[in-house]
Amino acid sequence: MTKLAANLTMLFNEQPFMDRFEAAARAGFRGVEFLFPYAFHADQIADKLNAFQLDLVLHNLPAGNWEAGERGIACHPDRVNEFREGIDEAIRYAKVLGTKQLNCLVGKVPQGVSAEQARETLVENLRYAADMLKEHKLRLLIEPINHFDIPGFFLTRTQQAVDLIRDTGSSNIYVQYDIYHMQRMEGEIANTIKANRDIIRHIQLADNPGRFEPGTGEINYRYLFKMLDEIGYDGWIGCEYKPRAGTVEGLGWRAAHGV
């Protein structure tokens, strides 16, 4: 059965962040996700989750200076200590908010750093993060992202994520599979999900082109939802898209796609 989570970073942003929890619940969502909780006290968010009976299914590790264009620091050799401090902070929030899995945005390769240096740093950081999270019964996820939207991002393909997980030697790293990003990078969405079913523990969606809601572009979401049910995927699917004409106005796609 399809379980949809509202991404509160991109949905319901017609209103302040702390009001989006109620809006999501009123729209019928039982789960939510967002990029980062760190601008708010954990108890403030927990109160909203409890008040509206919502599960927080995912948020990211701290990812550097987002406003300045950073998209993660896990592949930055000179910021290992900062990355590790961020893991501690993320765990503290996850324990209060009931989050079971945390996503690591690996970042763009810094100027002057070779791909080999970046990868070596990333493997060590992922291994460390996975071990730390495992102590608290939390999963670590990594997410391939298309290089059109984020030029220079280190992790851009599914097989690259599989290879990174293998090289860490960790049993506590999984893939967050974003359908929109991978449609842009490699296509073959259904076959790729089937082939990597065991390591995909979270899925996100948006249509392409435009990153709008399902039904506005080229991706056959009715087929994909049916396929996910058939292969027994029982995780959450995060709705991480840009509403084309307002969040509530655009939610009709759920009924149109049988979810």
Q: Is 240 a catalytic residue?
A: yes
Chain length of the chain: 259
Structural domain 3-257, CATH architecture = Alpha-Beta Barrel (3.20)
Distances (CA, A) of 50 to 31, 72, 79, 93: 12, 30, 36, 15
**Is 252 exposed, middle or buried, given 0-12, 13-18 or 19+ CB atoms closer than 10 A?**
exposed
Q: Is the pTM of this model over 0.95?
A: yes
pLDDT of residue 86: 98
Per-residue pLDDT in tens (0 to 9) along the chain, 259 residues: 899 999 999 999 999 999 999 999 999 999 999 999 999 999 999 999 999 999 999 999 999 999 999 999 999 999 999 999 999 999 999 999 999 999 999 999 999 999 999 999 999 999 999 999 999 999 999 999 999 999 999 999 999 999 999 999 999 999 999 999 999 999 999 999 999 999 999 999 999 999 999 999 999 999 999 999 999 999 999 999 999 999 999 999 999 999 9
Q: How far apart are CA 70 and CA 106, in angstroms?
A: 10
Closest CA to 103 of 86, 121, 120: 86
pLDDT of residue 185: 98
Q: Do residues 56 and 92 make contact, with C-beta atoms less than 8 angstroms apart?
A: no
Q: Spot the catalytic one: 124, 143, 188, 218.
A: 143
Q: Do residues 228 and 214 make contact, with C-beta atoms less than 8 angstroms apart?
A: no
pLDDT of residue 1: 81
Residue 115, number of CB atoms within 10 A of its CB: 10
Q: Is 135 a catalytic residue?
A: no
DSSP 8-66: TTTSSTTS-GGGHHHHHHHTT-SEEE-S--TTS-HHHHHHHHHHTT-EEEEEEPP-S-T
Any idea where the domains of the chain sit in the sequence? Answer: 3-257
pLDDT of residue 209: 98
Q: Spot the catalytic one: 186, 188, 240, 249.
A: 240
